[in-house]
Amino acid sequence: MVTTVFANYRRGYERESLMEKPESRMRQVTLGDLKFDNPFTTELSGDQDLSNTRRQVHDAYYSRVFPTPTAAPKTLVVSEEVRLLLGISSGLADSDEFAEVFSGNAVTADMDPHAMCYGGHQFGNWAGQLGDGRAINLGELQGIDSKNYMLQLKGAGPTPYSRSGDGRAVLRSSIREYLCSEAMHYLHVPTTRALSLCNTGDNVVRDMFYDGNLAEEIGAVVCRVAESFIRFGSFEIFSARENIDGLKALLDFTIKHHFPEISDTSPEKYVDFYREVISSTALLMAHWQRVGFVHGVMNTDNMSIHGLTIDYGPYGWVDDFDPDWTPNTTDRHQRRYRFRNQPAVGHWNLAQLANAIYPVVGSVEPLQEALDEYEEIFSRSWSEMIAAKLGLVEYSSSSSQRVITDLFSILETGEIDMTIFFRSLSSITVGSDISIDEISALLKSSYYEPVSKSESHWETLRDWIENYRDVLRGQEIPDDRRKAQMDQVNPKYVLRNYLAQLAIDSAEQGDLSMLYDLQTMLKTPYDDQPQFDKWAVKRPDWAKDRAGCSMLSCSS
């Protein structure tokens, strides 16, 4: 099987899963016992204006700002895996103090709360200063894996970068962020994590679809976790303002703390850094395509230098396979961030990063040479992933290439559920007398409108099945072994938008049971879980056009 592209990320996942549970070593009595480090605010210059007023912030990487207290904070859910990773005891996670701190009502003595300054290209246009408008970084904790992790509260109140917003988040978007960041981790897709989700006890007024229909919604705060929240736009803002000294200082800080394998004395270190970002971004794009995930808002301020999925807003999974689908209402006409376009947008965003760091590099050629590697890295990664999804040991032969190419023609014309179709492929056998028609019937269960398909479509499918089985026969891999391998790269369970919406509907009525069930299901998306088979099905008809189940806005 071709699975090398999963190795690095999966290795980290397995290491975490196999770690000895450190519960017995945890003796924290209060959150004050957790020692936060703050290199970002210690080593880089901050905003000299300490007022929390909306404004342009110059010559600063961040503004110090405290979270806004909330009325009645309550912890709704905690990720046990992230809690253990950060060395937080279960007793502490259940405490009132935990709810106070991770809802934004309190900070510990060695936290240094701040909002980051950055810019970005939004939908292809330079937007100027953006920044953390509703996210406040608390500081870094060292995990039990010896890595440092920044903890960030999303929805913790206004900052100098809030523009016209109130800095708050609502329960529906917070549930979607909490569930999806954890779901992506267990799908082996690089992502930020989520420690906790807290109810604030406050209501927030939102116009969900920007159509004048204001409504009060329940407020919430998610604690996000990542090695850092430095984005492409973090460099763009300094370059756009021609603050080259500031740009260089941020690059040096980033390499020192997050890319220590790059020699600090090398004259090529900035290009080496860029190459690392290109490689991780290309791999991330391939992973998104592998599982059928559409980010929806691939602006440069939403692109992590670590190659992580970041800023979960209007995202979604491809249901009936439509490469031109986007979940973002703001992008409904241009469809810039549609599923098929994500790899190209990744390349475009990397070009903007190159433009941003060029003043420090001082030469176009090495940056262009590095960027030219993107397509090859993505193509190789995606080819290996699609081969693994199909159970192919190689992807370069003419017969394998034909199977892959013809398959996507069938998917695009068939209104086929991508997740169910690929999961079903592992049940195809070559060592038994199962007929082409029987296999066709098996795959037909992934179609949304099978009766509308012409006979020529079914003939094409049968021809494809025959060619596919011929390739599999030539590999001489036992059916059961191939099935086991395919099932580890083709998930059975993903966070479909309608499932998240059902959990939101229940949570808004005070019932968190579906939230908890989805959290459990999404931890093992590649395993059969009979108790959750009711959610391993096609999107129901009622969800096709319902708000929150199809298109979503950038509104919190």
- Residues annotated as catalytic are 301
Is 115 exposed, middle or buried, given 0-12, 13-18 or 19+ CB atoms closer than 10 A?
Answer: buried
Q: Is 5 left (phi over 0), alpha (psi -120 to 50) or beta?
A: alpha
Closest CA to 308 of 331, 333, 275, 284: 284
Is 21 exposed, middle or buried, given 0-12, 13-18 or 19+ CB atoms closer than 10 A?
Answer: exposed
Both tokens of 391, joined, read 């159970």
**Which residue's entry shows tokens 């290439």?**
401
Spatial separation of the C-alpha atoms in residues 403 and 266, rounded to whole Å: 46
Spatial separation of the C-alpha atoms in residues 392 and 43, rounded to whole Å: 49
Both tokens of 338, joined, read 């549609």
Helix-helix angle 455-475:436-444, to 10 degrees: 110
Closest CA to 423 of 363, 470, 486, 368: 486
Express the helix, strand and coil content of the chain in percent, nearest 5 each.
45, 15, 40
Q: For strand 215-226 and strand 169-170, is the pairing parallel, antiparallel, or unpaired?
A: antiparallel
Spatial separation of the C-alpha atoms in residues 82 and 130, rounded to whole Å: 29
Spatial separation of the C-alpha atoms in residues 389 and 411, rounded to whole Å: 14
DSSP state of 306: T
Spatial separation of the C-alpha atoms in residues 139 and 113, rounded to whole Å: 7
CB neighbour list of residue 365: distance below 8 Å, 6 or more residues apart? none
Say what the alpha-carbon torsion angle 295, 297, 298, 303 is, to the nearest 10 degrees.
-90
Q: For strand 193-206 and strand 74-78, is the pairing parallel, antiparallel, or unpaired?
A: antiparallel
Give the CA distances from residue 113 to residues 103, 302, 305, in Å, rounded to whole numbers and listed in that order: 13, 21, 21
Q: How many other C-beta atoms are found inside a 10 Å radius of the C-beta of residue 149?
A: 22
Closest CA to 197 of 214, 217, 221: 221
Closest CA to 555 of 63, 207, 198: 207
